[in-house]
Each structure stands twice: as C-alpha cells, then as structure tokens.
Amino acid sequence: MFEAVPASLEMHLDEGAMSNVVQRKDKINRAIIEHDPGAFASSLVPWLEATAYLRVMPSLGRLAMPRGDIPSLAEADLREEAIVYEADDAAMAFCIVAGLKRDRRSVVEVHGRLTAQLGPNYPGSSAIGHCMQVIDPIVTLDDAVGQHMKALLDQKALDPKDIWNAGLRVLQRARSSNFVQELMPILAEWLRESWRVTIRQQRFNLTRPRTNVPEIEEALEDPLNDQAFVASLLLASTDATGMEIEAEYRTQLATLARRAR
C-alpha cells in the first residue's frame, strides 16, 4: 500500500525522482476523488510507472544502476502481474468513488478511454469489469465490492442490509488500497447520509427500531468522516439490520472504531 515512500528508499531517491513520484500520486488521487475519467485515463500509466520504479529501487544500488528518471513501461510490461495488481487497485478505487456518487457515466467513459488508449485488456480492466458486469457466484472481495458498486451505478435502491454490506466490503477493500486516505472520507460521507435517509424513510425495514435506532443516531453524532466513524457506524447498525456477524468481525470493527489518542 502506497502511503509514503519508506525512509529506507527515500535516502536512495534523488530529489527529482521523489518529486516525480509524489506528483504522479497527487494526479491520480485527484482523478479518483473527482471521479474524472479523462484525468484518470491520462494518469494511470504514469502512476504504474512510479509504482514499478519504487519496487525496483532497492535493487538499483546493488546492481550499480543509475537512479533518477522514472523509466517508461513497454506494452509487455503492462501485462505483468505486479503492474496489473496496481492498476486494478487504482481502477477499483475510481469505481468505488464513482459508485458511491452513483456516477455511471464516469465509469463507462473511463472504460472507453482506457480501451482506446491501451486496448480491451488494458491494466485495470478486471476491476472495472467487476463493477459493470454481473458476477455469480461471488467469491472474492473484489467480486463483492464490484457488485455493490454495480447496484449503485445502476441506480438501484438499497435496503438497510445492502447499505451495511456495501459499507463493510468497501471498508475492507479500502484498507488494503494505495488510496485508503482518499477513499475513507468518501465512504464515511456516503454511509452517514445513507443511514440518515434510512432512519427517516426506512424504519419499517429495521429490526426493533425503538431499541436500535438510538444507537445509530449516537454514532451519527460523530463529526469526523474517517475509518473510526465508519467502523463505529457499522457496529451500531448491525443489530438494526439483523446481520449476524462472527465475534471476530465485531472485535475487528471495535478495534478500528477506537481512535488513537
């Protein structure tokens, strides 16, 4: 997960290369946050080049190879497993934001742009396919996240269980992403608004609302849109949705709900 360049690598990166990596990350961050298909399509390959460069950095010194400029990726490089993994991570982050914003146009457009730019099997196509196609059976986390995003992109109404499941799966996916810092506030905002609407309009779909809604309302009083809020709201809404989750999941959510002091 790319949050910052590790200190052990930073000492090997010259100032120009380090600045270039940060600029590329900033560009794709903005493209994802703004669910801007043109910006994402133009920033994806430069970001993949940056991640590839960071992966090989520890070897450059041992091989006495020069450090500095970030090399371009050849067409064959874009099919390598590590590159495809990073591309799917970025594309899924884009689809999550677009899904939570119910912006199908952006996903359709980014798919078209990347297909025209890199061909039908472009890096990231698997993640976008997860969010545009029906997947049955659902096996992986990306299967689950993709199908929740597809429902949102298709403008389907969600019941409380759908909201809860979507929130949990996106939380799990975001925590393993290079873009966790960008995704978490958007997920928190979506989950907050979804539960406010649910309390106003779908109380009849909740289990024991007189008992369980006050706990949800208490969680909603938290003003911060962060990971701790998401975990707290998921915990608070578990009983109201009738979800049965294992003790291990409850413990994990409770741990995430505690902010560092």
Give the model's pLDDT for residue 17. Answer: 74
Cβ neighbors of 206 (< 8 A, separation 6 or more) are 160, 198, 212, 213, 240, 241
Gap between the Cα atoms of 48 and 44, Å rounded = 6
Q: What pLDDT, on a 0 to 100 scale, did the predictor assign at position 3?
A: 42
Angle 234-239-245 (CA atoms, 0-180°, nearest 5)?
A: 70
Question: Nearest 5°: phi and psi at 62?
Answer: -65, -30
pLDDT at 18: 75
> How far does Cα 251 stand from its chain's mean position?
23
Using CB atoms within 10 A of its CB, is residue 137 exposed (0-12), middle (13-18) or buried (19+)? exposed
pLDDT for the residue numbered 15? 62
Report which of 193, 192, 236, 243 is spatially closest to residue 212, judged by C-alpha positions. 236
The pLDDT, as a whole number, for residue 260 is 67
Q: Is the pLDDT of residue 51 over 90?
A: yes
The pLDDT, as a whole number, for residue 261 is 57
Q: What is the mean pLDDT of residues 70-95?
A: 96
Has residue 43 got a pLDDT over 90?
A: yes
Q: What's the CA gap between 70 and 54, in Å, rounded?
A: 9
CA-wise closest residue to 104 among 125, 127, 131:
131
* Rounded Cα distance, 99 and 94, in Å: 8
Q: In the prediction, which pLDDT does 62 show?
A: 46
pLDDT tens, residue by residue, 157-210: 999 999 999 999 999 999 999 999 999 999 999 999 999 999 999 999 999 999
Copy the structure tokens of residue 128: 């976008």
Sequence-distant (≥ 6) Cβ neighbours of residue 70 within 8 angstroms: 17, 20, 21, 24, 49, 50, 53
Is-contact 160 205, C-beta < 8 A?
A: yes
